[in-house]
Amino acid sequence: MDNINATADVDANAQIGTGTLIWHLAQVREDAVVGANCVIGRGAYIGPGVRVGNNCKIQNHALVYEPAVLGHGVFVGPAVVFTNDTYPRAVNPDGSLKNAEDWNPVGVEVSEGAAIGARAVCIAPVRIGAWATVAAGAVVTRDVPAYAVVAGVPARQVGWVGPAGHPLVPGSSDGEWTCPLTGALFRVHDGALAPISEHVSDPAALTFGD
């Protein structure tokens, strides 16, 4: 395919959507499913069976280990790591080398529109909510709510963000937040943020890529 660089290693059993670009030295393993109009950067790794939605950007040297699932429109920054082993060891207690039958992989799930900053590490099992933002260098050890901004080691929530990617600012009423770029309105209820403008998607309706 013209959209796959000659140095990329794409398994014959991987499914690649129309218009997706795969750059130098990237690897897409067997049974991975990558949606349409994605960009897989130089040296990125997509593990066996990983599912990536449409219109995603996975930047240079990101490591997306199975069984990760990315929804539509997800951004994964340079050198991000999605882990998949809760109790990592190279060997069993008897000293024998571990194989595929000796551990159970767990995955990172990223909902539609979320962004993971450069060199962040997401420790599976964990779920990143729709339109959330993980700051560069953060280490995510627990689920991230939709629209939340998290930062630090371990990551903690430091604010709210809208689909435009800009931090939300307090609105005119208690519990209301506003996007300074689009004017979209949101409200916090029971610790969760939800849109109250008609043109903003409800994260409950967002699904992972097919």
Q: What amino acid is encoded at 159 in this protein? A: G
Indicate if the pLDDT at residue 201 is higher than 70. Answer: no
CATH says 9-88+104-163 is which class? Answer: mainly beta
The pLDDT of residue 173 is 81
Catalytic residue, candidates 61, 72, 189, 199:
61
In this structure, of 60-74, 118-132, 148-162, 164-178, the range with the lowest mean pLDDT score is 164-178
pLDDT in tens, 146-193: 999 999 999 999 999 999 999 999 987 888 999 999 999 999 998 899
The rounded distance, in Å, linking the Cα atoms of 143 and 188 is 18
Catalytic residue at 72? no
pLDDT in tens, 30-47: 999 999 999 999 999 999
The pLDDT of residue 210 is 40
Q: So where are the chain's domains?
A: 9-88+104-163
pLDDT band at 197 (very low <50, low <70, confident <90, very high): low
The pLDDT of residue 179 is 93
Per-residue pLDDT averaged across 87-101, rounded? 93
Give me the chain's average pLDDT, please. Answer: 92
The pLDDT of residue 199 is 52
Per-residue pLDDT averaged across 99-114, rounded? 94
